[in-house]
Structure 1
Amino acid sequence: MRIDDYVAELGKALCGPPGPKHDLVVEARDSLADTADALEAEGLARDEAERLAVREFGAITEIVPSYQRELTAAAGRRLGLLMLISLPITVLMWSVVWRFYPTNSLAVWVARPDWYDTASRWLDILQLSTGLYGGLSLFALGRGTRWIRRPRLVTKWLGIIVWSMLPVTVGLGLVLSYGAGMQETAQTFLPAVLANLVTAAFWGLQLYGATRCLRVSRTA
């Protein structure tokens, strides 16, 4: 097998974030090319040098597991970093918005239902807890890999937690926005509109990252 064929097959066999995957494939190509160049300098024909370099590098089935473990950890680190950053930002952003929305805040807050404060507190706890787990996952899949035997499970559970918690936080957010008898809607208050757009973007990124984590953890 020639180097180009080997690298193409390796790329098809791997599943993970495009950036880290590209880096691993390029690293493999460079290593193979260097070996083939050395063999060619010793007098072998280029075709034979590439085939020998591929045989020495190892079969695809032998190389893929270690590469896939790295890609699985990379997917988890990316989602962990996103959770660590996005969820505190979301909580802080909405805390600021609620100071000015609704504009007739005194009348609304006085008339709010008894469950409102409890639901608001639980929403903050869930969001911050998920963000904390994202930070712990980021550490575990970085420096913590020396102590963790199965980092794949960290990535897998990060995806599961995001998929499980996001519908809950979305539901609580909608209840808090529209279930407290507010006459002024979030669609007519500019800061709330911007906050909704940022929050929706974060949700989309989180779901995308969680889906990728589940996919690559199955592949690993």
Structure 2
Amino acid sequence: MAGAGVIDEYVAALRCALRGPYGARRDLLAEARDGLLDAAEAYEAGGLPRAEAERRAIADFGTVDEIAPGFQRELAVSQGRRTAALLFLSVPLTAFLWAVIWRVFPEAARIEQVKPDWFGFLAKAVDLLQLGVGVVGGLTLLALGRGLRRIRRPALVTRRLGLFVWVQTPLVAAMGLTLAAAARGPVGFTTYPPGVAVSALSYLLAGSALFSAARCLRCTTAVAAPGETPGETRPSGGDRERFLSRW
């Protein structure tokens, strides 16, 4: 493993070209480096100098520009799965908690008032939208899992999920605050500990969803070529799996 300078430089350049979850990116790079080192050692055993053997291994594997799009596709899918799982689990949870809070909210803290005519419609819209977000998360998780082989452009699915979250999350937050202001409910009742706790959890999960969605957008544009649609990845010049299995 010593003296792998050319390969290490190649892997470092590949690392700089990629964006995505740290663990998935680390595993891809480790797999590529191990395969390149095995190939270089085979060439060296055949009589080539070490540096030339490493360059030959890299030539067989493909340049960074050829290989990075294929790697980036895998990272985009990984990030899409993470975001979809977060939506699938967190949105129904927060909706359930808020439903409980509104039911057990102390009667003494409620301020009787005539609610606007649009209150019921908006409340139902929030419920349906939150239900839809959970469904979208579940379907995306399924699509990027078992359905991955049937999807032609999975990175585009990840990108659209990221855009969806960036539209949906601020919209639901604005609608929720509007309802709370109109009903003077748990959000405005800062001395009610359960309401404060659920509010804090809601903000935390919403922030996490936005952050994860931003990473979806970053993953799908990191290696896009000029004139190429963000989220669409070109096929790599080298067959990575065949190369790795060869050595």
TM-score normalised by structure 2 residue count: 0.82
Does 1:19 pair with 2:6? Answer: no
Alignment of 1:101-140 (within 5 A): 101-104=105-108, 108=112, 111-140=114-143
Alignment of 1:152-167 (within 5 A): 152-167=155-170
Q: 1:111 to 1:42 in 2, by over 3 A?
A: same
TM-score normalised by structure 1 residue count: 0.91
Query: Unpaired segments of 5 or more residues in structure 2?
Result: 225-247
Identical amino acids, percent of aligned pairs: 44
User: Shift of the alpha carbon at 1:158?
Assistant: 0.6
Structure with more of its chain in helix, by fraction: 1
User: Shift of the alpha carbon at 1:182?
Assistant: 5.0
Q: 1:205 to 1:106 in 2, by over 3 A?
A: closer
Partner deviation per Cα, 1:115-144 (whole Å, 9 max, x = no partner): 322221111111110121111111111221
How many pairs were matched up?
Answer: 219
Does 1:148 pair with 2:151? Answer: yes
More relative contact order in 1 or in 2 (CA 8 Å, sep 6+)?
2
- When the two chains are superposed, the root-mean-square deviation of aligned CA atoms in Å is 2.0
Q: Which residue identity is paired with 2:182?
A: G
Q: Which residue of structure 2 aligns with residue 80 of structure 1? A: 84
Q: What is the rounded CA distance, in whole Å, between the counterparts of 2:137 and 2:205 in structure 1? A: 14
Q: What is the rounded CA distance, in whole Å, between the counterparts of 1:202 and 1:69 in structure 2? A: 26
Q: Which residue identity is paired with 2:20?
A: G
Q: Which residue identity is paired with 1:68?
A: Q
Alignment of 1:188-207 (within 5 A): 188-207=191-210
Q: What is the rounded CA distance, in whole Å, between the counterparts of 1:66 and 1:184 in structure 2? A: 46
Residue 41 of structure 1, aligned match among 22, 45, 65: 45
